[in-house]
Homo-oligomer: A and B are copies of this chain.
Amino acid sequence: MSTKQYTVADFKSDTKVTWCPGCGDFAILTALQKSMVELGIEPHETAVISGIGCSSRLPYFMSTYGFHTIHGRGSAIATGVKVANPRLSVWQITGDGDCLAIGGNHFIHAVRRNVNLNIILMNNRIYGLTKGQFSPTTEKGFVTKSSPFGTIEEPFEPAELTLGARGQFFARSIDVDMPTTQECMTTAAKHEGAAVVEVLQNCVIFADGIHDEVSERTTRAEKTIILRHGEKMIFGANRDKGLMLDGIKLKVVTIGENGISENDLLTHDAVESDNFLHYKLAMMHHQGFPMALGVIRNVEAASYDQEVERQIAEVQAKKPIRKLQDYLLSGETWEVI
């Protein structure tokens, strides 16, 4: 924790930001810098690790310690950083290609092991840096340079994959909604363990407008719902709509209609360890419901880096030997005289 009060400027490096004008990455960068200020972490206690992609250029624009690694390996490298030095605040910056295509394995394992990383997944559903091929999150049928007749693959839903990999934290936001992004990021940082924050990001060059339905000012209030732990699930431009359970299915209701009051709505419980309802909420936009934004799941569990430290401490408590030579001498030996 910092004693000095840092500002956003303290988290900016003097490297020119090279994203395309209008790219959604800018807002995410700012939200990240603001989050760090809000969290009171210090630039020198912070490591920002990325793979390769437009999004993965982000560490260069931060004044913290940073490592722009190789494509897809951010999770693995960040795991090494965090296990080596658990006192660092470690952020992994990644794109949908970097994280879910080539980096998929390291990602699911970092999530499963619950390494205390803040994983910011900038999802533009396209490969930006290589100039426009489809990614594992590109919607089926989308025409790109590598799918001139449309893709034929069902995309991953990052929330679903995260939960499938035993994820204990998942949040979702949209580039244009900086306050929610910041809220997700700061909550993620406070969570011990792998915290995945998906930010829907607009690539103005190769997939412009694909998030419009949820990101456009005009439709956003109706098409999204921001979940907050302990709060009722309400949405709509007039905040008159809400979610309820109907058997094991969700339903959208209007407050005031059919005798439904706010009290009848579901209250979001992000810390419930059973991931059943989180799963449902995270996926509901596939079934015509609004898209869940905010922190959907936030469950405490021992983090991998803590467990590494704990186990070492435990063994050390039992075994007094601290030097190799003493260890060797304590084993099966004989003397030549």
A301 within 8 A of B: yes
A165 within 8 A of B: yes
Contact of A112 among B102, B153, B248, B314 (CB under 8 A): B153
Q: Do A308 and B156 contact each other (CB < 8 Å), given the known contacts A164-B164, A164-B165, A280-B276?
A: no
Contact of A304 among B102, B153, B161, B274 (CB under 8 A): B153
**Contact indicator per residue, chain A 123-162, by CB within 8 Å of chain B (1) or not (0):** 0000000000000100000000000011011111100111
* Count of chain copies: 2
Tell me which of A23-31, A40-48, A103-111, A179-187 binds B: A103-111
CA A165 – CA B160 in complex, angstroms? 7
Given contacts A112-B136, A153-B307, 16 further A-B contacts (CB under 8 A): A104-B109, A108-B108, A108-B156, A108-B161, A114-B154, A149-B314, A152-B307, A156-B165, A161-B165, A163-B164, A245-B247, A245-B248, A248-B277, A274-B287, A276-B279, A279-B279
**Contact indicator per residue, chain A 226-262, by CB within 8 Å of chain B (1) or not (0):** 0000000000000000000101100000000000000
Q: Are B104 and A154 in contact (CB under 8 A)?
A: no
Q: Report which residue of A105, A245, A247, A248 has the largest number of chain B beta carbons within 10 angstroms of its beta carbon.
A: A105
A311 within 8 A of B: yes
A57 within 8 A of B: no
A113 within 8 A of B: yes
A166 within 8 A of B: yes
CA A315 – CA B161 in complex, angstroms? 33
